[in-house]
Amino acid sequence: MSNTKLRAAILIVSETAAKDPSTDECGSILQKAFESDGGDQWDVAATEIVPDNALDIQRTITQWTDSGEWMNLIVTSGGTGFAVKDITPETPAPVAVKLPVDANLIGSVVAEDVKAAEFVPAFRASIVDGYAVVVSEDAPSAKGVFPVPFFSHAQAGDIPELHPGQVARITTGAPLPPGATAVVMVEDTILTSKIEEGDEEKEIEILTDAIRPGENVREIGSDVKAGDVILKRGEGITAVGGEFGLLASTGTREVHVFKRPVVGVLSTGDEIVQYDRPGELRIGEVRDTNRPILLTLVRESGYEAVDLGVASDKPGALEESLRAAMRKVDVIITSGGVSMGELDLLKPTIERSLGGTIHFGRVAMKPGKPTTYATIPFKNNAGDREIRTIFSLPGNPASAVVTFHLFVLPSLQQASGISPVGLPRVKVVLDQDFHLDLHRAEYHRALVVMKRDGLLYANSTGAQRSSMIGSFKGANALLCLPAGNETLTRGDKVDALMMGKLYPVVNKILVSGRS
């Protein structure tokens, strides 16, 4: 039944084929692929050929995504090469860089498999405090009294050879003396005599006869062998400690990771003053709330943040600020100037003054409707053509924070090789009723806690007006509320995106605070 099939559209991006469609071979090949390999599930509902022109590509794709007759899948062909005209994939791909192994690596993703350069442990080491002994399969440890001619401590240096019939005191992590084959733990021994001039033992008695070769010994390379792959491409280096610990313990000095974008944060608006400016505000002045929060969010998310200050709403000022920013950073976050007022200059500046492409400029969501995403072509100091990404977030602080989490963070993560991207999504039980917005999906600031039944429960943090940054106080999640004309009631389940840590509620006392 054709009306239940999925709808696909094919977009051919080619200067030549746009002039003469008979030169195009891709369209028919893709069409056939849908027919022969699509499991009879696909209907190619539209095919278009456009030249390598951002506006044409954009217009065609938005017609296929935003009209009532939207497509399930859009396949584009062409425009993916390296010519100046080739612009279809605008989002920069992750780039690998070689970095020294230090704490700055935390948050990076490994771009090439890392092999251990050394064995861990590098020598045969004792697992316990005790006495090194010489035993073999045929002759396990014998009970009896043995002389203790020397000690092996956990320190560098030569150790004498241990002969059968002798034992050597050994501490946890210390190297086994040459000749020793196992360690008897101190709990299985008794001190029988001390040397005259001190506390150290002269002889000890071994109480067990069950110690076999290799017992209580970490063999060379038993944790990690030289040449083992210790980290794979795509794995993240976390602050939990395992990855960084592996690099440190194997003496790895450098590692290829995906470059994390450097992010600039710019506020816009003639009314915006430095948040810590002393003195009272004059009428109309607003303290810059977005820039300090966004800088913190960027840094807390693991990216270098550059403070780009405040740009005035005067023509030319914004363009100048953005041009300067493109030389300093990979990604620019602005806030304000994207609503519908005459001083809202961001979109015209990006498109007309900077030759950028606005990929989207309005989003059906609450808050965050004016959120804008664009790319701007840019020539670096070496004259190479690069792309700068710009997120123009709404000016209202709560909207700026919500849209940072929903749009900017996943993009930064994608650029630095992190997968999957975005805030962790969990199912939560509503602990109160929620009225839905008729037209727009809402991202509602909420506190999600785990109760004694092990389930996650969500409560609103209060009034959600987009100017009220205080609605984030105490919030650790954004509830994903669909658009609709009903009310979700207590006990209903929805998705929540976790921005912060999860805390348990024990006997109605909220255990909170941040570590």
- Residues in contact with ligand AMP by CB under 6 A are 267, 269, 271-272, 286, 288-291, 335-339, 341, 344, 394-397
- Buried-exposed string 190-217: b where 16+ CB fall within 10 A, e elsewhere: eeeeeeeeeeebebbebeeeebebebbb
Half-sphere exposure of residue 495, counting CA atoms within 13 Å on the CB side?
10
Residue nearest to Mg ion (CB): 269
- Choose the stretch contacting Mg ion; rule: CB under 5 A; options: 3-11, 232-240, 331-339, 401-409: 331-339
Residue 356 in contact with Mg ion, rule: CB under 5 A: no
The site partner of 396 among ligand AMP, Mg ion, none (C-beta below 5 to 8 Å per kind) is ligand AMP
Q: 162 vs 469, which CB is nearer to ligand AMP? A: 469
Residue 27 in contact with Mg ion, rule: CB under 5 A: no
Q: 120 vs 272, which CB is nearer to ligand AMP? A: 272
150: its two tokens = 């020397």
Pick from 236, 264, 269, 356: which binds Mg ion (CB under 5 A)? 269
Q: How many whole angstroms separate alpha carbon 362 and alpha carbon 194?
A: 84
Q: 290 vs 414, which CB is nearer to ligand AMP? A: 290
Question: Torsions phi, psi of 267, nearest 5?
Answer: -95, 155
The site partner of 289 among Mg ion, ligand AMP, none (C-beta below 5 to 8 Å per kind) is ligand AMP
Pick from 92, 236, 261, 336: which binds Mg ion (CB under 5 A)? 336
Residue nearest to ligand AMP (CB): 395
- Is residue 426 packed enough to be buried (19+ CB in 10 Å), middle (13-18) or exposed (0-12)? middle
The site partner of 108 among Mg ion, ligand AMP, none (C-beta below 5 to 8 Å per kind) is none
Residues paired with residue 169 on neighbouring β-strands, in sequence order: 131, 151
Contact 37, 29 (CB under 8 A): no
- Is residue 317 packed enough to be buried (19+ CB in 10 Å), middle (13-18) or exposed (0-12)? middle
DSSP state string for 104-154 = GGTT-BBSS-EE-SS-BSSS-EESSSEEEE---SSSPPPPEEEE---EE-S
The site partner of 371 among ligand AMP, Mg ion, none (C-beta below 5 to 8 Å per kind) is none
Residue 370 in contact with Mg ion, rule: CB under 5 A: no
Q: 160 vs 315, which CB is nearer to ligand AMP? A: 315
Residue 121 in contact with Mg ion, rule: CB under 5 A: no
Q: 60 vs 289, which CB is nearer to ligand AMP? A: 289
Residues in contact with 453: Cβ distance below 8 Å, sequence separation at least 6, in sequence order:
none
- Choose the stretch contacting Mg ion; rule: CB under 5 A; options: 43-51, 201-209, 328-336, 367-375: 328-336
Q: Least distance from C-beta 265 to Mg ion, angstroms?
A: 15
Q: How many helices (H) and strands (E) does the chain have?
A: 9, 34
Residue 397 in contact with Mg ion, rule: CB under 5 A: no
482: its two tokens = 């669909």
Q: 159 vs 286, which CB is nearer to ligand AMP? A: 286
Angle formed at CA 182 by CA 178 and CA 184, multiple of 5 degrees: 125
Q: How many whole angstroms separate alpha carbon 164 and alpha carbon 167?
A: 8
Residues 95 to 114 in contact with Mg ion, rule: CB under 5 A: none
The site partner of 121 among Mg ion, ligand AMP, none (C-beta below 5 to 8 Å per kind) is none
SS3 per residue for 448-481: EEECCCCCEEEEECCCCCCCCHHHHCCCCEEEEE
Q: Least distance from C-beta 269 to Mg ion, angstroms?
A: 4
Q: Least distance from C-beta 270 to Mg ion, angstroms?
A: 8
The site partner of 466 among ligand AMP, Mg ion, none (C-beta below 5 to 8 Å per kind) is none
- Choose the stretch contacting Mg ion; rule: CB under 5 A; options: 244-252, 275-283, 284-292, 332-340: 332-340
- Choose the stretch contacting Mg ion; rule: CB under 5 A; options: 77-85, 164-172, 265-273, 317-325: 265-273
Q: 336 vs 370, which CB is nearer to Mg ion? A: 336
Q: 130 vs 394, which CB is nearer to Mg ion? A: 394
Long-range pairs for 276-285: beta carbons < 8 A, 24 or more residues apart: none
C-alpha distances out from residue 243 to 14, 71, 130, 237, Å: 46, 43, 31, 5
Q: 130 vs 397, which CB is nearer to ligand AMP? A: 397
Q: 78 vs 397, which CB is nearer to Mg ion? A: 397
Contact 294, 404 (CB under 8 A): yes
Contact 438, 484 (CB under 8 A): yes
Residues of this chain that interact with Mg ion (CB under 5 A) are 269, 336-337
